[in-house]
Amino acid sequence: MIFKNLLLSFQLENYKNIRFLKFIYTHPKFWIFGSKRQVLEYTSKAKLILLLTILLLVFDIAASIYFTSGILEIISVIWVILFLPIYFVIANIILTPLDRYLKNRIILSATKKISKYKNLKIIAITWSYWKTTTKEILATILTESYNVLMTEGTKNTPLWISRLINTQLSESHDIFIVEMWAYMPGDIKELCDIVGPNISVLTGITLQHLERFKNLDNIIDAKFEILEALRENDFAVVDSSTHGVKKWLETKKLEVKNIIQVDELLPYTYKENLSWMIFKLWESTIETKLLADYMWNTLQICHEISKYLWQDFLEFQRWVSKIDFVPHRMELIYNPSSNVYIIDDSFNGNLQWVESILTLMQHAPFTGRKILIAWWIVELGNELVPTHLKLWRQMWRVADLVLLVEWPIWNTLKKWLLDSGYSLNNIKLYPTPLALHEDLKNITQNWDMIVFQNDLPDNYL
């Protein structure tokens, strides 16, 4: 069981050696109890690391028993067990050349294959938030007129995308939509070198992964790689309403000339019980099940691409009304037996997403209690406390009850709240996510709106 838990932790940290060691030695309970919410995926890499770790461990224990005796033998075995995570790291380091070779083969094969499809429209989507939602909506709209392939879920790394190209992309596809991730400068460029996009989308930017990027300028610079990959006659749509984007569009020397900027706020209203969200686009009305206020931006981005690809506006309008919720991203779930409305926003975890969910709670035509299950936003570096202080000012105005899992910065927030004159009567604290979820049945009442926001993996708790 310990082996499985350590391997799961390593996988959750994307096999980053230092991050894994830092987490596992500061969370000793994870060794024994692991996670009750995340499941280990036994990929080829995971199996090889586990096998090599066991072999290294057996060799060291055997050597300790052979070369020592008595109390030294016992101490040697205990020493080996205490440093068990190090064996996982050593196994990972040993396997790195093989892992890199096999990955490069898959990526090279994908790059060669996709370069042969000269008529394929390749749409690359990136930025800090709502890129998955934009991808799902865009694919739904374009499927009306084209044969579309898109990347699956959040599987947006070079290896996952290359595997998809090698196994599923064919000459029958007209459009390939690729969601792209980035933890550091160069990540987007690597993905663009593989797929060679001719249409790029930048959706929104915020403070995210600051522990890796260090500052906002580095984030913007990394994301602009998706525009730098385009040629002069290609096409791009950019959300220029977010911080710094207009300035960077003016100062960057981009080869692509056809760039549409989206920054206009569309007026919207909610129907009773959040059954529909209604936008006004020019003189037309667009209805959608999707609830977030950022939809005004996403719909404009999708419309610009739809128009560029010669889709009729009526087709666009009709398909927007048919789009269903993207799972775990402001997904509305109604329980008729208890008349409870649940908004599952558990896959979103940055400042703009949280502000969007708070805006929804504030403006939703809803008369019952509004309960917010809030996790923390992670990887904010020095902005961690200021960001959460800003959010708490908003939470207090919109939530009747806030349910929290305790986190290291809670004492700092609590002191600020008390010093600012806020009451803590509408806050309930729990030691673990499981304890929180088990207590919901004791809290929930008829006609409650319960919002699940940013359900963090256990390696962040």
Identify the pLDDT of residue 381.
65
What is the C-alpha to C-alpha distance for residues 309 and 121, in angstroms, rounded to an integer? 9
What is the C-alpha to C-alpha distance for residues 7 and 39, in angstroms, rounded to an integer? 11
Identify the pLDDT of residue 425.
81
- Spell out the domains of the chain, with CATH numbers in brackets: 2-102 (no CATH), 118-322 (3.40.1190.10), 331-460 (3.90.190.20)
The tens place of each residue's pLDDT in the chain, 461 residues long, gives 888 989 998 988 889 899 899 888 888 888 888 776 678 888 889 999 999 999 998 888 777 776 666 676 667 667 777 888 999 999 999 999 999 999 999 999 999 999 999 999 999 998 655 667 788 888 888 988 899 999 987 777 899 999 999 999 999 999 999 998 777 778 889 999 999 999 999 876 655 544 555 556 667 777 788 999 999 999 999 888 766 677 777 777 888 889 998 876 777 788 777 777 887 776 778 888 888 776 777 888 888 999 999 888 887 888 788 788 877 777 888 888 778 888 888 766 666 667 777 888 887 777 788 888 877 666 666 667 777 777 777 777 788 888 888 777 777 777 777 777 777 788 888 888 788 888 988 988 888 988 887 665 554 44
Identify the pLDDT of residue 170.
95
* Pair 169, 176: CB distance under 8 Å: yes
Eight-state DSSP code of residue 272: G
Amino acid making up residue 366: F
What is the C-alpha to C-alpha distance for residues 152 and 138, in angstroms, rounded to an integer? 14
Identify the pLDDT of residue 459.
46
Number of residues assigned to the chain: 461
Q: Give pTM, 2 decimals.
A: 0.74
Torsion, CA 56, CA 90, CA 183, CA 159, rounded to 10: -50
Range list of β-strands (E), 326-398: 331-335, 340-345, 370-374
Eight-state DSSP code of residue 106: H
What is the C-alpha to C-alpha distance for residues 429 and 402, in angstroms, rounded to an integer? 9
